[in-house]
Amino acid sequence: MADDAFHVYDTTLRDGAQQEGLNLSVADKLVIARHLDGLGVGFIEGGWPGANPKDTEFFRRAQTELDLKHAQLTAFGATRRAGVKAADDPLVAALRESGAPVVTLVAKSHDRHVELALRTTLAENLAMIRDTVSHLRAEGQRVFLDAEHFFDGYKSNPAYALEVIRTATEAGASVIALCDTNGGMLPDELADVVHAAVQSSARIGIHCHDDTGCAVANTLAAVRAGATHVQGCANGYGERSGNANLFTVVANLQLKRGYELVPPQSLRDMTRIAHAITEVTNVTPNSHQPYVGMSAFAHKAGLHASAIKVDPNLYQHIDPAEVGNDMRMLVSDMAGRASVELKGRELGYQLTGDQARELVDRVKELESRGYTFEAADASFELLLRDSVHGERRRHFAVESWRVIVERRPTGEVVSEATVKLHAKGERIVATGEGNGPVNALDRAVRGALEGLYPELSAVELVDFKVRILEGTHGTDAVTRVLVTSTDDTAEWATVGVDENIIEASWQALEQAVTFGLLRAGYTP
């Protein structure tokens, strides 16, 4: 189990799952819990047993299917209803029977919410807190309390908000997490309130939402003010603008403030874990996410590259390896020679000064026509290889291609492509049908080459993006196509540009196949 002196508490499976468009199955929640345990968090809030069948099933399966090495599973629920004994409340019973060693109770700490939302008295709300906490403690469970709307409640009636803390602590709650439920606080005012709460001699935690864009900053301010329990969600998931991003919070506290929250090896796994969770949630990763985003250590400006060539720390606040990420050099029309040299080195090529200068000029010329290489690393690597070898080298030469689009009497629209090319001394003609011109071309070129290069059967196109470039209009506009391909072990992107969208697509497709053959070990 993680050190109890400072808690890292994850609420992805409950609060994070409230994000719009995010829907987790029980199996999804079990997988994410294992990833979070691998990170080394101390507590994983699994959901609200008794409130919905999915969460009840999760806790049932967790007892036999989760073998947690670091974390303790936590069940979330509410205090008893007004006028009912805690021992007789069915939702409290569900918490008791969940099998979770820790229960987090949500309780109202804002007087207006007590009277308007709960429709009870301030005294009865305190009794609900006292009875529920003491009942669960007597049953052998550890209890945390989420003081909902605490900061708004403190502004409205500070004495009552603090009385909620005192009541829960005296009843046996070991942590009182102050919740910025509406996400409206700023760091300086939040820190003042946390400091006042810490003076009550209770152990204080913090739970922040990101509606002002300050959830992480507010969490760090709370820790500085005395909080020793931080709550957050993987990748900042959560309702509205999300919750405090737990990855950013942990990395900041461990790398910047010296807290030992998770094992160093787990921290070096953070980027992998963050992306693994996005695969389960099916939420597109935020490439600009601090620490773990693909762009977190990506450098584009030529001036930056020149400095990084001397010392990477001149433009990086940490070594990316500390969180399992990598430095990336982006090549664009903003690149200088240093950018290209570093990118070449990253790809395993040692460029001479003349080669680097020529490549920079070529990149800038192509980008002025609409190409983009920062989003198409594979296209840049092919360009770089051509520069190193002093000529264009490919595995096949294209004689011609054509595409026919036919609308059949049934209303079905089918595309048929024919490609004629030369490879390994053979002239090959192949056709392919698809649900669109690019799909048809893809099938045709595979049909032509898979007999000579069987590894192509593992390569597939997984994304296709089209953009009409600025400064062009109507059907004569210049089109840029980005194609992403994979061979099940890695992905690569290629780019094509032309006034004809099919030609632009063919350029990107031809490069994708060429790069796939290079990855398979074939020398052009």
Domain range summary for the chain, segments of one domain joined by +: 7-247, 397-519
Count Cβ atoms below 10 Å from residue 409 Cβ, excluding itself.
5
Q: Could you tell me where the DSSP H helices lie in 42-157? A: 53-65, 90-96, 111-113, 122-138, 150-156
Residue 44 main-chain phi, psi, to 5 deg: -125, 115
Distances (CA, A) of 488 to 380, 455, 519: 21, 12, 12
Largest CA distance in the chain: 90
**Nearest residue to 219 (alpha-carbon basis) of 254, 106, 209, 211:** 209
**Nearest residue to 131 (alpha-carbon basis) of 171, 163, 97, 75:** 171
- What is 397-519's CATH number? 3.30.160.270
* DSSP letter string, 347-402: TT----HHHHHHHHHHHHHHHHTT--STT-HHHHHHHHHHHHHTS---S-EEEEEE
Check residue 44 and give its pLDDT: 98
DSSP 80: P
Check residue 171 and give its pLDDT: 96
Check residue 433 and give its pLDDT: 93
Ordered per-residue pLDDT tens for the chain, 524 residues: 567 899 999 999 999 999 998 999 999 999 999 999 999 999 999 999 999 899 999 999 999 999 999 999 999 999 999 999 999 999 999 999 999 999 999 999 999 999 998 899 999 999 999 999 999 999 999 999 999 999 999 999 999 999 999 999 999 999 999 999 999 999 999 999 999 999 988 999 999 999 999 999 999 999 999 999 999 999 999 999 999 999 999 999 999 999 999 999 999 999 999 989 998 898 888 889 999 987 787 766 545 545 555 556 666 788 888 999 877 665 544 455 556 666 677 667 777 777 777 777 777 788 778 887 767 788 888 888 887 777 788 899 999 999 999 998 998 999 999 999 999 999 999 999 998 999 999 999 999 999 999 999 999 888 888 888 765 555 556 888 989 999 888 889 899 999 899 999 999 999 999 999 999 988 88
Check residue 289 and give its pLDDT: 94
Count Cβ atoms below 10 Å from residue 93 Cβ, excluding itself.
15
Q: Are 73 and 62 in contact (CB under 8 A)?
A: yes
**Nearest residue to 449 (alpha-carbon basis) of 498, 357, 520, 503:** 520
Count Cβ atoms below 10 Å from residue 520 Cβ, excluding itself.
15
In angstroms, the CA 194 to CA 215 distance is: 14
Strand-pairing partners, residue 463, are 484
Indicate the fold that domain 7-247 takes in CATH: TIM Barrel (3.20.20)
Check residue 491 and give its pLDDT: 87
